[in-house]
Amino acid sequence: MNLTHPFLDLDGDKLREECGVFGVIGNPEAAAVTALGLHALQHRGQEACGIVSWDGHEFFARRGLGHVAQVFSDQVMLSELPGHMASGHVRYSTTGGQGLRNVQPLHADLARGGFSIAHNGNISNAMHLRQELVEKGAIFQSSSDTEVIIHLVATSRYPTLLDRFVDALRMVEGAYSLICMTPKRMIACRDPLGIRPLVMGRIGDAVVFASETVALDVVGATFEREIEPGEIVEVRQDGRVTSHRPFTPQGARPCIFEHVYFSRPDSLFAGRSVYEARKAIGAQLAIESPVEADLVVPVPDSGVPAAIGYSQQSGVPFELGIIRSHYVGRTFIQPSDGARHSGVKRKHNANRALVEGKRIVLIDDSIVRGTTSMKIVEMMRDAGASEVHFRVASPPTAHSCFYGVDTPERSKLLAARMELEPMREFIKADSLAFVSIEGLYRAVGGIERSATAPQFCDACFSGDYPTSLTDLAQRTQRESQLSFDKVA
């Protein structure tokens, strides 16, 4: 038994936040406001960030690898981004991989002027479209799926840029929240299913767009509303705001994992406080899977609200049985296995004086590969816990995401390989339970899940993907053909 258990890396076994976007038009310090907004969205992407601004005559851009505070560290740097309009992006790579050439916002000079784009989400037919564009002579400067949209806009034959933009979006499938800039306007839009979030607010006369409401709070903007699924909002330089709805209305399918993990708890999503939703998930988990215990212990920090809800519902005291060091950098700045497992960056430790001799209920938001959950259970036992019960504030994650979340391939997801009891044995817990998908729906929306038309995108739990997955289908077909050829 390790009497001095080492700090644990708990970030290497999490689903990766997709990206975050922010934009403002009509503010004389647009770049500074954007940098502040990106700080509030840093949790959505910590690998790289960028800002593009427009001063009325030309576009200016700065992009870099690392945190917002590293890339935009002083006022001199922001002074290089003049203008009343700016957009920004924080990134964790999903499609396209690492590297400065994939850092957004992307910018290009089109026939009718400059065009920049910041994208949260993932285009699930990007490789198919890219191949078609390359065969027609397109030259790509990045490996990001976002650049496909720029080429589709550039090659569209419609007369106005807005029509070209709509024409481009009609050809893509998947998930997107976009903030685009041209010399005359800022354009914000959300995919027809509203899978990825996007909200709108104001600072005086300036219009602000962001992935989450917390970014509006931080920059002092008032929240007006969510951008509706399939809506395109156009804001001209004179302040005129126009809403367009060019797509056939569909049932909204916002990503339910925003409630579970991705969004900051002080944000609003789908009309509800994320913090309150997570507490409700924890309470639902206590109703569905109670257990005799002495303490409810969250896996910091994402498990805290659900653990509070579990404690309040069950009557079992809430305690911080795992202490996090806030002076160690997050380990998925660089998403390589070496960085994830680096001992230098491990940052959690058991509160031995609290947990020794106690029956513990551990609350976490999800189990992905299961390796981290196993280490947490081991850490509690090494600290002297008499029993360790694991409760998960989401259903089993058994399917990969193709809409902008960096999930492992399905063969590496624990729930795709094992049933509940083998999973419990794998993580070495005394008991293991997940909230049901029906319970999750009740907790976050007070609704019953429709089996034929789910109200959220829950594909990572159910395998019910709300859009076509062209690239996946073509890749699967090629792999099947290769396997057949080898056998033949």
Q: Among 253, 286, 301, which residue terminates a domain?
A: 253
Summarised one tens digit per residue, pLDDT across range 43-52 is 999 999 999 9
Q: Among 223, 253, 283, which residue terminates a domain?
A: 253
Specify if 483 maps to a domain: no
pLDDT of residue 486: 57
pLDDT of residue 178: 98
Summarised one tens digit per residue, pLDDT across range 108-134 is 999 889 999 999 999 999 999 999 999
Summarised one tens digit per residue, pLDDT across range 68-89 is 999 998 777 788 999 999 999 9
Q: How many CB atoms lie within 10 A of CB 171?
A: 15
Q: Compute φ and ψ for 382, nearest 5 degrees.
A: -65, -25
Task: Assess whether 19 carries a catalytic annotation.
Answer: yes
Q: Where are the beta strands (DSSP E) in 72-146?
A: 85-91, 106-110, 113-123
Average pLDDT over every residue of 469-476: 92
Q: How many CB atoms lie within 10 A of CB 114?
A: 15
Tell me if residue 434 falls in helix, strand or coil.
Answer: strand
pLDDT of residue 415: 96
Summarised one tens digit per residue, pLDDT across range 263-285 is 999 999 999 999 999 999 999 99
pLDDT of residue 333: 37
Q: How many CB atoms lie within 10 A of CB 428?
A: 15
Specify if 365 maps to a domain: yes
- 56 lies in the same domain as 122: yes
Which range in 80-94, 290-304, 395-409 is most confidently predicted, on average pLDDT? 290-304
Q: Compute φ and ψ for 464, nearest 5 degrees.
A: -90, 90
Burial class (CB in 10 A: 0-12, 13-18, 19+), 291: middle
Handedness of CA 332, 68, 37, 62 (dihedral sign): negative
pLDDT of residue 363: 98
Summarised one tens digit per residue, pLDDT across range 18-69 is 699 999 999 999 999 999 999 999 999 999 999 999 999 999 999 999 999 9
CA separation, residue 39 to residues 68, 70, 72, 88, 318 (Å):
6, 11, 10, 11, 30
Predicted confidence (pLDDT) at residue 141 exceeds the cutoff of 60: yes
For residue 260, the 8-state DSSP code is I
- 218 lies in the same domain as 323: no
pLDDT of residue 99: 77
Amino acid at the residue 112: R
Q: Which of 147, 218, 184, 163 is nearest to 25 (CA)?
A: 184
- 279 lies in the same domain as 323: yes
- 198 lies in the same domain as 279: no
SS (H, E, C) 305-374: HHHHHHHHHHCCCECCCEEECCCCCCCCCCCCHHHHCCHHHCCEEECHHHHCCCEEEEEECCCCCCHHHH
Predicted confidence (pLDDT) at residue 340 exceeds the cutoff of 50: no
Summarised one tens digit per residue, pLDDT across range 145-163 is 999 999 999 999 999 999 9
Specify if 330 maps to a domain: yes
- 50 lies in the same domain as 168: yes
Specify if 302 maps to a domain: yes
Q: Which of 114, 22, 41 is nearest to 262 (CA)?
A: 41
pLDDT of residue 95: 54
Predicted confidence (pLDDT) at residue 352 exceeds the cutoff of 80: yes
Token reading at 43: 């949790």
Q: Which residues of 326-353 are buried (b: 16+ CB within 10 A; e: fewer)?
A: eeeeebbbebeeebbeeeebbbbbbbbe
Summarised one tens digit per residue, pLDDT across range 355-402 is 999 999 999 999 999 999 999 999 999 999 999 999 999 999 999 999
| Whole-angstrom distance, CA of residue 416 vs CA of residue 134 | 36
Pairing of strands 19-25, 206-210: antiparallel
Q: What percent of the chain has pLDDT over 90?
A: 80
Domain membership of residue 436 as a residue range:
275-447
Q: Among 184, 218, 253, which residue terminates a domain?
A: 253
- 152 lies in the same domain as 195: yes
- At 338, the pLDDT band (50, 70, 90 cuts) reads very low
- 120 lies in the same domain as 239: yes
DSSP letters for 20-71:
EEEEEES-TTHHHHHHHHHHHTGGG--SEEEEEEE-SS-EEEEEEES-HHHH
* Beta-ladder partners of 116: 107, 181
- 178 lies in the same domain as 211: yes
The pTM score is 0.91
Question: Mean pLDDT, the chain, as a whole number?
Answer: 90
DSSP letters for 154-203:
HH---SSHHHHHHHHHHH--EEEEEEEE-SSEEEEEE-TT--S--EEEEE
Average pLDDT over every residue of 290-319: 97
- Which one from 19, 180, 255, 457 is the annotated catalytic residue? 19
- 305 lies in the same domain as 158: no
Specify if 261 maps to a domain: no
The enclosing domain of 37 has a CATH number of 3.60.20.10
pLDDT of residue 449: 94
| Whole-angstrom distance, CA of residue 330 vs CA of residue 52 | 26
| Whole-angstrom distance, CA of residue 458 vs CA of residue 395 | 10
pLDDT of residue 342: 39
Predicted confidence (pLDDT) at residue 350 exceeds the cutoff of 60: yes
- 274-288 and 437-445 are packed helices; what angle lies between their axes, rounded to 10 degrees? 140
CA separation, residue 276 to residues 153, 266, 268, 304, 447 (Å):
41, 9, 10, 12, 16
Specify if 408 maps to a domain: yes
pLDDT of residue 397: 96
Token reading at 85: 């309009």
Handedness of CA 178, 179, 183, 185 (dihedral sign): positive
Handedness of CA 375, 377, 380, 386 (dihedral sign): negative
Specify if 11 maps to a domain: no
Predicted confidence (pLDDT) at residue 341 exceeds the cutoff of 50: no
The enclosing domain of 406 has a CATH number of 3.40.50.2020
Domain total of the chain: 2
- 245 lies in the same domain as 325: no
- At 331, the pLDDT band (50, 70, 90 cuts) reads very low
Predicted confidence (pLDDT) at residue 406 exceeds the cutoff of 80: no
pLDDT of residue 395: 98
Specify if 188 maps to a domain: yes
Q: Compute φ and ψ for 388, nearest 5 degrees.
A: -130, 110
pLDDT of residue 324: 85
Summarised one tens digit per residue, pLDDT across range 188-223 is 999 999 999 999 999 999 999 999 999 999 999 999
- 178 lies in the same domain as 288: no
Average pLDDT over every residue of 177-181: 98
The radius of gyration computed from the CA coordinates of the chain, to the nearest angstrom, equals: 23
- 362 lies in the same domain as 236: no
